[in-house]
Structure 1
Amino acid sequence: MKLLLADDEKELTNALVAILKHSNYTVDAVYNGTDALDYALAGDYDGIILDVMMPGMDGMEVLKALRAKGISTPALFLTAKTEVDDRIKGLDLGADDYISKPFDMGELLARVRAMLRRKEEFAPSDLTCGNLTLDRNGCELKTPDHEAVRLAGREFQMMEMLMTSPGRIISVDTFMDRIWSDGEADVNVVWVYISNLRKKLASLDATCEIKASRGLGYSINEVK
């Protein structure tokens, strides 16, 4: 899952990014409303976390502009404001939730999970391909006759992308944009992760495989 986080308090933002990444989210962070709008318009995000009071544009202005352009990405407001009228205004603009500063990190993560569940209300907690199951709650791969294998954050994100639509080819650029958007790696990292995942599928005697389509990308397919 890829999130956009916008808050002008850099120390808080850096802490939130670290916590969200530890919880297996990919995060782009910006520090003003103008950048938040630009990123949200250009990127493909599963959820947006917006501080209300930011330079450039405030969070409510950002969300209003996004909704006016038909972008329905779930949004959560962070704010020091606690007045009921402000909460009502934010929800009326199309926000999915509202949390007041200071907040507990555990509560924030729970609200983010709830926000994303509403986006994918009918998404199953388990994804399958052949005899392979990806437990999205436990971040584990399993087959009937083997002990489950836990996946690290980016391994899980890559496997989730593949198993959400078995047979669909996902390009290297898409993996890079969704999982390594921080620019800290080159495209060869995709091949390394694919290689590691293939080894895990083999260890589980999975009846599916990750196939490479030259010049196009990768897909997971059941072995017939």
Structure 2
Amino acid sequence: MKILVVEDEERVAHFIQKGLKEEGHAVDVSYDGEDGEFLAEVNDYDLIILDLMLPKKNGIVVCRELRASGVATPVLMLTARDSVEDKVRGLDAGADDYLPKPFAFEELLARVRALLRRQSDSKSPVLKMADLELDPISRRVSRSGKAIRLTTKEYALLEYLMRNPDKVLSRTLIGEHVWDMNFDPESNVIDVYVSHLRAKIDKGFEPALLHTLRGQGYLLSDDSPPV
């Protein structure tokens, strides 16, 4: 999943980013409200973690303006101020959940999972392509009923592909959504992960689902790719 963290304390922002990346998420970080709001409007995020007290524009204003502009991405608001009044203001501005600082990363992660699960439930409980299935809630993958074990990053790559079936996805798009916006397009890491993923979901099965379109990108489809 692709997550935006808007937090002006660099230590806290990097702590959250590191932990979420270890869980397989692509994480972008912004350090002020104006930049965070811009990134949230121009990118397709699955979740926004938004601090309340931010320079240039506070989290309440950012959240309210995002909702007014039609951005429906779930928002988890963070703040050192945990009065009932502050919580009500945040939720009324459009936040989906509220976490006071300081917090244990395990609690943050549980709230992130809950919001992402709610988002997945509103889309489709199980993603399918031919006989390949991915359950975003249990994070289980199978083909023809046979369980497939994936690494954290392989799972994130497959989920992104399965949420965009029959679409040619460029390496840049994959890099931004499965890694982050600082992904180096000259790196061959995507090719390596695609190769590993193909060996797990296609080897020994028919038809092949993961296709490489030279010069264009990658395609997950049960139809033959265009020549």
Band the TM-score falls in, shorter-chain normalisation: 0.7 to 0.9
Tell me which moved more, 170-179 or 57-66.
Answer: 170-179
1:59-208 pair list within 5 angstroms:
59-144=59-144, 146=146, 148-187=147-186, 188-205=188-205, 207-208=207-208
Q: TM-score normalised to the size of structure 2?
A: 0.87
User: What RMSD in Å do the two structures reach over aligned CA positions?
Assistant: 2.2
Q: Displacement, 1:130?
A: 2.3
SS at match of 1:198: helix
User: Which segments of 5 or more consecutive residues in structure 1 lack a partner in the other structure?
Assistant: none
**Quick one: distance in 2 between partners of 1:174 and 1:90?**
32
**Quick one: distance in 1 between partners of 2:39 and 2:165?**
29
Percent of aligned positions that are identical? 38
User: Aligned partner of 1:161: which letter?
Assistant: Y
Q: Displacement, 1:98?
A: 0.5
Q: Displacement, 1:169?
A: 2.5
**Quick one: distance in 2 between partners of 1:213 and 1:129?**
19
User: Aligned partner of 1:164: which letter?
Assistant: R
**Quick one: distance in 2 between partners of 1:103 and 1:198?**
39
**Quick one: distance in 1 between partners of 2:86 and 2:204?**
52
> Cα deviation per residue 1:50-72 (whole Å; 9 max; x = unaligned)?
11011111111111221221211
**Quick one: distance in 1 between partners of 2:123 and 2:17?**
25
**Quick one: distance in 2 between partners of 1:125 and 1:104?**
29
* Residues 101 and 204 of structure 1, relative CA distance in 2, 3 Å threshold: farther
User: Aligned partner of 2:86: which letter?
Assistant: D
Q: Find out whether 1:16 has 2:16 as its counterpart.
A: yes
Residues 142 and 204 in structure 1, CA contact (< 8 A), matched pair in contact too: no
User: Aligned partner of 1:88: which letter?
Assistant: V
Aligned length: 223
Q: Displacement, 1:119?
A: 2.5
Which position in structure 2 is the counterpart of 1:42? Answer: 42
Q: Displacement, 1:40?
A: 1.2
Tell me which moved more, 55-64 or 115-124.
Answer: 115-124
* Residues 145 and 79 of structure 1, relative CA distance in 2, 3 Å threshold: closer
User: Aligned partner of 2:56: which letter?
Assistant: G
Residues 117 and 137 in structure 2, CA contact (< 8 A), matched pair in contact too: no
User: Aligned partner of 1:177: which letter?
Assistant: E
Q: Displacement, 1:85?
A: 1.2
Q: Displacement, 1:217?
A: 2.8
